[in-house]
A = this chain, B = another copy of it.
Amino acid sequence: MNTSLRDDWFLLPFELRLQRASAKALAAAAILTADESAALLRALNAMETQWVGAPCPDSPAEDLHTWVEAKLIEAAGEAGRKIHTARSRNDQVATLLRMFVIDAGERFGAKLGSLVALLARRAKDWADLPMPMMTHTQFAAPGSAGFWALRYAVALDRIAEAAAFHVSQWRRHCPLGAGAVAGSSIALDRAILARELGFEQPSLNALYDTSMRDECVEWLALAAQCALHLQSFAADIILFSQSPLRWTRYPAAFATGSSMMPNKLNPDAMELLRGEAAALPAAHHHAMLLLKGLPSGYNRDLQCIKPIVRDATAKTLYLCELLQAFVGSLDFDATRLAASMQEGDIFATLRMEQLVREGVPLREAHHAVAARAQGGARPESGGATKLDPLAATTSYQTAGSASPDETRRVADELIRRHGAS
C-alpha cells in the first residue's frame, strides 16, 4: 500500500518535464555544472522515448519520483544525486497534478468546442423540424429539433468558458520549489521553474501549495457540471426514442438487442452515457470526503486523489467523444414528430397570446383558453385555430425563442466562436 508507482504512472510525461525544469534551475543556481545539467537533460530525453506510453514497469520503487531519480542516478551519476535539491516530493506532486489538470482542462475545452460547433450545426439542420417541447415531461409548446439541440450547445459553451477561466487560474502559480512545507534555504530561482513549466510565476505560500488540491477539486466540479448536461441529453434521447414516440432514428451502432425479447432494440449507449456520467459528480464528492478533516501540511491521504482525478479525466473526455459521435449520427423521424405535434394541445399558449395581441389581458386570455382546453374541446380538430407546426414556431417573436431564425442566429454565433476547433 505504501508504494504508488502504478498509481503515479499516468503522471510520467509531466514528471519528465518537471525534472528538466529542475535541471535548468539548478544549473542557473550553480548547484549543477553545465555538464551535469546537460547529462540530465539527455537522460530525460532518453527516458521520454523509452517510457512515455509504455506500461508501468515492475519495480520496488516507492513511487514515480524515486523511480525517475534512480534512473537519473543510473544514467548521470552524481548529477542524479543532486536533482532533488531544494525540492520535496510534496511540491513535486502538487506541481504534477496541477500540470495534469491544466492539460486535462485544455483537452476538455477543445472537445467542448467541437461539441458546441457540431451541436450548433445540427441546430441549424433541424431549425425547421417542428418538435413538441416538454415541461414536466408533458408536451407543452411547439419548438424544433434544432432549438432542442441548441440547448446543449449553449450549455456546453458556458462550460467551455468556465474551463478557460480555470486553466488560466491554474497557470498563474507554479508550486515547484515550495519544498516539503516551507520552501528552501538554497537560493533557487523559482521563476525559472515556473517559466519552464508554462506558469506565470512562482506560487505565494509553500504551506498552501502542499496542503490542498484546489485545482483537482475545481476540475472535478467542472466535470460534474458537464456531466449534468450530458446525462440530460441522454435522458432526452431515451425519452424521444421510447415506444410511443419513436421521434429519433436511433443510430443502430449505439443500440443493443435483448437476449430474451426479440422485439427490442435498446438505446444502450445513451443509458450508458447517463449512467457513466454519474461517476463525475461522484468523483467530486469522493474528493471532498477525502480532503475533509485534514489539517494543513502534506498528508499522505492526498495520494488517494490521483486515481480519482485520472479516472474522472479519462471518463470526461471519453463521454465527450461518445456524445460527439452520437450527435453526428443522430437523426429524427419527421413524420412521427409531425404526428406528435397534434397531441397535447400544444398550440394553446400561442392561441392565448393571439387573444392578448387582440387586447385581452393575459390573465383573462389564460382563463378563456384553459376553460376550452379543460372542457375537452381539442381546438386543433376545430378548424379556425388549427396551426401549421412550422408556422407556429415562426410566430415566436422573442430573442432566444424557438423561432427558426433565432435558432439559426444563435447557432451561427456559437459556430463563429468554436467553428475552428
Contacts and interface: CB of A to CB of B under 8 A. Distances in A.
14 contacts: A86-B398, A89-B259, A136-B297, A136-B298, A155-B212, A161-B169, A179-B401, A180-B259, A212-B232, A217-B228, A232-B296, A271-B300, A274-B301, A282-B286
Q: Is the interface of A mostly helix, strand, loop or mixed?
A: helix
Interface string A142-156: 110001101111110
A85 interface: yes
Contact of A151 (B137, B205, B294, B349): B205
Contact of A207 (B86, B133, B208): B133
Contacts of A367: 262
A246 to B, nearest CB: 9
Given A86-B353, A155-B208, A212-B228, A397 B268 contact: no
A363 B82 contact: yes
Contacts of A139: 242-244
A229 to B, nearest CB: 7
Contacts of A162: 165, 169, 218
Copies in the complex: 4
Given A218-B225, A361-B81, A297 B134 contact: yes
Interface in A283-316: 284-286, 288-304
Contacts of A232: 211-212, 294-296
A188 to B, nearest CB: 6
A2 B140 CA distance: 20
Interface string A202-240: 111111111110100110010011001101100110110
A295 B134 contact: yes
B212 A229 contact: yes
B263 A344 contact: yes
A179 B232 CA distance: 20
B154 A204 contact: yes
Contacts of A1: 269, 272, 276, 322
A406 to B, nearest CB: 7
